[in-house]
Amino acid sequence: MTRPLPAPGLPGILNGTIPPGIYHLPPTEAPTDVMARAAEADWRGARLQLSGVHDKAAFLDRCATDLEFPEYFGRNWDALADCLTDLSWWGSGKFRGYLLLAEDWETFRKAAPGDARTAETVLDDAVGHWAGTDSPLVVLLG
């Protein structure tokens, strides 16, 4: 599922030469710069900040807050999958792609390995759902 971000890195994601997937964000990439570059390339980006998140409930709460999920978000894995495969809540307009940057992923993974595996499966399924469309989804784990 998750793999290192191949060369040429973020530019390859944004120009479509690197296929959609879940990638590790290189430590040399600053999250603020990643979001700015995504916006410049007409990608819709969002930052999911996982510092202090140690279990499923906290992860889903943070998703609801940071990703600005709709009020009907049910705070369970199925609801997460539903929101990530219907991105109409993520702003109007046509984007070249969607970029989700999950910061402090490793801290969450160490604190709740089972929940992190499930979350990664949901994220991977969402990436697969959007692959091959005009607006793919890419997830970067920082």
pLDDT of 89 reads 87
Q: What is the pTM of this model?
A: 0.96
Which pairing describes strands 22-24 and 137-141: parallel, antiparallel, or unpaired? parallel
The two tokens of residue 39 are 């916006």
In DSSP notation, 50-99 reads: -TT--SHHHHHHHHHHHTT--TT--SSHHHHHHHHH-GGGG-SS--SEEE
- Report the alpha-carbon distance of residue 72 to residue 83 in Å, rounded: 10
Task: Give me the pLDDT at residue 3, please.
Answer: 95
pLDDT tens digits for the chain (142 residues)?
A: 899 999 999 999 999 999 999 999 999 999 999 999 999 999 999 999 999 999 999 999 999 999 999 999 999 999 999 999 999 888 777 899 999 999 999 999 999 999 999 999 999 999 999 999 999 999 999 9
Cα gap 117→123, rounded to integer Å = 10
d(CA 133, CA 33): 25
Cβ burial of 38 (10 Å; 0-12, 13-18, 19+) is: buried
- Residue pair 84/130 in contact (Cβ under 8 Å)? The answer is no
Closest CA to 50 of 3, 116, 5: 116
